[in-house]
Structures are given as structure tokens and as C-alpha cells.
Amino acid sequence: MSQMQLPAMKLADPAGFGRVAVLLGGESSEREVSLKSGAAVLAALQSRGVDAFAVDGVKALLQAIGKEKVDRVFNILHGGDGENGVVQGLLAALDIPCTGTGVLGAALTLDKIRTKQVWIAEGLPTPRYLRIAPGGDVRAAAKTLGLPVFLKPSSEGSSVGVARVMSEADLEHACQVAAEYGGEMLMEQMVEGEEFSVPVLGDIALPSIHIVPEGQWYDYKAKYQSNTTRYITPGLQGEEEAALGQLVLQAFASAGCTGYGRVDVMRDEQRGWQLIEINTAPGMTATSLVPKAARAIGVEFDELCWRILEQTLCAH
């Protein structure tokens, strides 16, 4: 177990949170994962005596706010309006505190291309990329960057709609993926090396997680369906772990993020650390990464949910 210590919790009485809406589900491509995360969070909060209830989607949240008292929101709505600034702006306008980052951090980081532009402006390491407009030329982009590359939607999560292009033979499939998605795509140089994820809680980088999938890459199946993916926590030791934590905190803050989230990184064999993306409403299921990192420092799931909810006490 890591020796990292979190600050003392701020609140002892669950009544101090008031009535808490756990926002889950919604209409994005990540709905099923969000339902699982939300159910886990709801059970954890209720086990600690919090007056919490589930709300499925933004429209239902508005109805709940109109009909009954909602003092704060635990946002576990993955993708779409849960992470693009819509929920954050709505609740800010209504003066209702919400877990996670604010409007800027949410809107920016759901867009992988704009996040990379900020990182590059800040001098932070991230793979070379090209933006492919809807209907754009995937083959020309691949030729410019050079294979191998990843092709992914600019504003999706959970490895939804990702194509791995190792050779010319893979380009036809990549073109099909782009056509089916129909939106803006990101093509970036493939990072050859180890994959890590580092959760952030406030201004603290939790222990890194070294992700070792059974297959060649960490896709949707490896994330949510596989029992063979290995997670090593902490993923590094000593000065290496500390340096990665500092890089992650800089990447998180530079993208306007606050509260909690998760930064995905890879260690390229030639170029060193490469920032991949930020998730501002990360998964909170039994196999999710943020709970794994918290558990490595002795923080069980119910305490983690409590600590995240505590962040809303100073949100206004």
C-alpha cells in the first residue's frame, strides 16, 4: 500500500450534504457504463447515510430540480452533456453545486483536439496529430503523419469509435469508421510503449495505474469486459512516480480542470511521456481506475465517493 496520505475529511454528518441527485445514464454512447457507475455511487453514498437518489439524464434532472429539493449533484453522466459543459453550465446558472470540473474544463477536455492544442501551447508532451473534418480524407492524413496511427472521434470516450491503423490494409476500415461516425475525427501518431492512467483528486495525483491488457491495446473490451487485463498500482516507484504525478497535475490544471478526474498517459520508447486525454467524469464501477488508485492508499469506494462529494461544499 502506498504511503500517500489524503487530508482529513471535512464533514462528519451526512445531513450536511442535503439532498443529493446522482446524475447517471443519459443518452450518450457511454450510457450503459454510466448506469453501472451511478448505481455504485448511489449505493456507496446511501451506505454512509447520505440522502441521495438517482436521476437518469439531464431532462429528468431538470424535472427533479423543479419538483423537489436538490442541494447538490453527483455527476456520473459519462460523455455527451455530462462532460461537455452543458450540465456544468446549467447547474452553475441554478447555483447548485456539482461534482467534478466546471464548464471550461468539461467542454475543453471532451474535445481531444482542443485539449492537445492547449497542451502543445503549454509545452507539454502529446503525440503529433491531425484534425480530420467531417468527410475529410483519412488516407491523406495517414500519409502525412505516417503509420502507425490511431483514428478516434474528437469527442467520444471509452474507446468508442476508435480504429487502429497499423498498415495500408487497415485504412479501408478506418475510412468506414470515420464515415459511420460522421463527425470530427482525430488522427494521432501511435505511441509505442506502456500505458498508464493517473487519477486526480483535488490538487493531489493519486497513485498511477500501469495498464497491461492481454491484447495489443486497451480497447472497450479490455476496459469493461475482460477479466485478464492487469492493473498494477502504483505503476511506478520513487522519483519516477512523483515526476509523473507532477506532469499529470500540470496537464489537468492547464486544461481548466478542477475537482477530480483522470489523466491517461503513455510512455513512448523513444519520446518518453505522452499525454493522451483527460476524463472529467471517469468510470466508478467495480473495475474502474479511480477506485483502484484510491484503494491503493487505503481509501475504500464509499470514502472516495464521500470525498468527491465533499468537493462541492466549497464549489460556491
Which residues are catalytic, by number?
30, 158, 224, 262, 264, 277, 279, 283
Task: Say if residues 155 and 110 touch (Cβ distance below 8 Å).
Answer: yes
Cis omega before residue 234 (within 30°)?
A: yes
Sequence-separated (6 or more) residues with CB below 8 Å from residue 123: none
CA distance 86 to 75: 12
At residue 189, the 3 state secondary structure works out as strand
- In the chain, what is the straight-line distance between the N-terminal and C-terminal CA atoms, in Å? 35
Task: Say if residues 4 and 35 touch (Cβ distance below 8 Å).
Answer: no
Sequence-separated (6 or more) residues with CB below 8 Å from residue 45: 20, 22, 52, 74, 302, 305, 306, 309
Look at residues 21, 64, 58 and name the one whose alpha carbon lies nearest to residue 41: 21
CA distance 88 to 104: 9
CA distance 82 to 58: 8
Cis omega before residue 148 (within 30°)?
A: yes
Which cell goes with 197? 492512467
Ramachandran sector of residue 182 (left: φ over 0; alpha: ψ -120 to 50; beta: rest):
left
CA-to-CA separations, 190 to 113, 118, 171, 268, in angstroms, rounded:
15, 20, 14, 9
CA distance 164 to 172: 11
- Strands 51-56 and 19-24: what pairing? parallel
